[in-house]
Amino acid sequence: MSTVGGGLAVALACAGASLLARAALLDVCQPAVGLVLFYPAILLAGTVSGRPAGLAVVGVEALTQAWLLQATGSAPAEACGLLLALLSGTAVAFAAGELHQALNEVEALQKRLHCVQDLAGIGEWEWPADGSTLNLSDRAWALLGQQPRAQPVSAGQFYTMLDPDDVGALRTAASTALAGRSPELAMEFRVLSADGKPRWRLMRGLPQGESGGLAGVLIDITPQRRMEQACQQALARQELVYRELAHRVKNNFQLTASLLRLQSRRVDPGLRPVLEGAIHRMDGMAALHESLSQGGAEGQVAFDAYLHGICNHLARVYTADRGITLTVEADATLLPADRALLLGLAIVELVGNAVRHAFSADTPGRIVVGFRQVPEGFRLWVEDDGVGFEELEPMRAAGFGMLLVQSCAQQLEGELVIERAPATHFEIRLPPQAAG
């Protein structure tokens, strides 16, 4: 109701003002004279209050002119001229109503834009082609921690508002974009703040066609940057705890293996190989957790380094005083810790099996441990140049050790392949997903 009342008041005011103006300037007894002064009244009423207000002005004019025609007895020709003028006035009222609606839509869009800018922390800026000054909106000034100014700011003064460490990169990026050598300007920088905490801003802009220069937005990205820093700090703490846990587990395995070594000296000689096998498996687990504690992605093991660590330990235990050379040929590959552990256990068993069965007490020889990534997946093998044996013999004679190797291969969805010529060759063939 208030909108309708306001529109009617505007219409009556415009109509009255038009009539008074024509009464003062023209002869009001000539109804068709001076209607041109009425069109601005229609346009003003329609633009300010909408189409109904413009039509109301036309209606008031029609009633006024009808009364004047009757009072003066004007000729029919004047009545026709008046009718045409009123029709054209109606058209002006409709056009003014459309203009009013368009202006309202523009105002609504501007309000929404300002609301979005306030919520998102966005300000506007323009950078002329000469690069000497910048035009900043009030929001952009606020994002720079400054009071709004009506006049442009010089580029030099603008740079003094930024963190000195970021000025060089922004200056270079802006010069490149202003010269047309870059399709856009997109640069992050920090602004100086009273509390000493960095405030991150993102400056993005696009070229302005033939006029040159850049125009764009200034965005507050401080919350995102602080969240990223908090996540990085949390990940660093988690990584530290993870590595410390892996280190402690390694120490526990080493302690248990040491206790078993002491116990093995007092047990029946027939049971000693069983204890020694358990000790070597624990040493392999300790080597795995040592790899986890030294670096790499969380839960991932640099398998080549892990393999070298296991084989160095086995060389000290098995081959140091027997003339047997143990070498490693491994591709650099990251594997999940649980899968690396299964392969490490298999290597401990296969190398121990080669030392025990392929060489006599005083016979030198060579054992090669290899790991390769191939198109079909991965290949892990242990090969020796010892005396050799039938393909199925180790499966029957080695007992628990070979069962453990087979179990490791099955858990990794691989297969165990044994070849005896030209050298004894144990190979575990793994699918590509073994590294996943």
Taking only the tens place, the pLDDT of each residue in 187-213 is 999 997 777 788 999 999 999 877 789
The answer to whether residues 425 and 357 belong to one domain is yes
Same domain? 246 vs 362:
no
The tens digit of pLDDT for each residue in 152-191 reads 999 999 999 999 999 999 999 999 999 888 889 999 999 9
Is 94 in the same domain as 23? yes
118, 144, 165 - which closes a domain: 118
Per-residue pLDDT at 104 exceeds 60: yes
193 vs 232: which has the higher pLDDT: 232
User: Do 213 and 227 belong to one domain?
Assistant: no
Helix H, strand E, coil C: the string for the chain is: CHHHHHHHHHHHHHHHHHHHHHHHHCCCCCCCCCHHHHHHHHHHHHHHHCHHHHHHHHHHHHHHHHHHHHHHCCCHHHHHHHHHHHHHHHHHHHHHHHHHHHHHHHHHHHHHHHHHHHHHCEEEEEECCCCCEEEECHHHHHHCCCCCCCCCEEHHHHHHCECHHHHHHHHHHHHHHHCCCCCCEEEEEEECCCCCCCEEEEEEEEECHHHCCEEEEEEECHHHHHHHHHHHHHHHHHHHHHHHHHHHHHHHHHHHHHHHHHHHCCCCCCCHHHHHHHHHHHHHHHHHHHHHHHCCCCCEEEHHHHHHHHHHHHHHHHHCCCCEEEEEEECCCEEEHHHHHHHHHHHHHHHHHHHHHHCCCCCCEEEEEEEEEECCEEEEEEEECCCCCCCCHHHHHCCHHHHHHHHHHHHCCCEEEEECCCCEEEEEEECHHHHC
Residue 391 is assigned to a structural domain of this protein:
yes
* Boundary residue ending a domain (65, 92, 118): 118
pLDDT of 391 > 60? The answer is no
Judgement on whether residues 436 and 321 belong to the same structural domain of the protein: yes
Q: Is residue 310 part of a domain?
A: no
Kindly state whether residue 427 falls inside one of the protein's structural domains: yes
In a domain, 303, yes or no: no
Last residue of a domain, one of 89, 118, 147: 118
pLDDT confidence tier of residue 1, bands split at 50, 70 and 90: very low
Indicate the average pLDDT of the chain: 77
Domain containing residue 335: CATH number = 3.30.565.10
Q: Please give the DSSP secondary-structure letter assigned to residue 334.
A: E
Q: Are 326 and 424 in a shared domain?
A: yes
Q: How confident is the model at residue 42 (pLDDT cuts 50, 70, 90)?
A: confident
140 and 189 both lie in a single domain: yes
Q: Is residue 306 part of a domain?
A: no
The vertex-249 CA angle with 247 and 251, nearest 5°, equals 70
In a domain, 307, yes or no: no
Instruction: Report if residue 32 sits inside a domain.
Output: yes
Whether residues 229 and 208 fall in one domain: no
Does 343 lie in the same domain as 281? no
Is the domain of 205 the same as that of 101? no
Higher pLDDT among residues 142 and 321, named by residue: 142
The reply to whether 75 and 109 lie within a common domain is: yes
pLDDT at 116: 67
CB 383 within 8 A of CB 425: yes
- Domains: count for the chain: 4
For residues 401 and 6, which has the higher predicted lDDT (pLDDT)?
A: 401
Q: 249-298, pLDDT tens digit by residue?
A: 767 767 777 777 777 777 777 777 777 767 776 776 676 666 665 655 56
Is residue 33 assigned to a domain? yes
Share of the chain above pLDDT 90, in %: 16
Average pLDDT over residues 407-433: 86
**Stretch 353-377: mean pLDDT:** 84
Q: Are residues 216 and 240 in the same domain?
A: no
Quote the pLDDT of residue 76.
Answer: 61
Domain carrying residue 258: 223-298
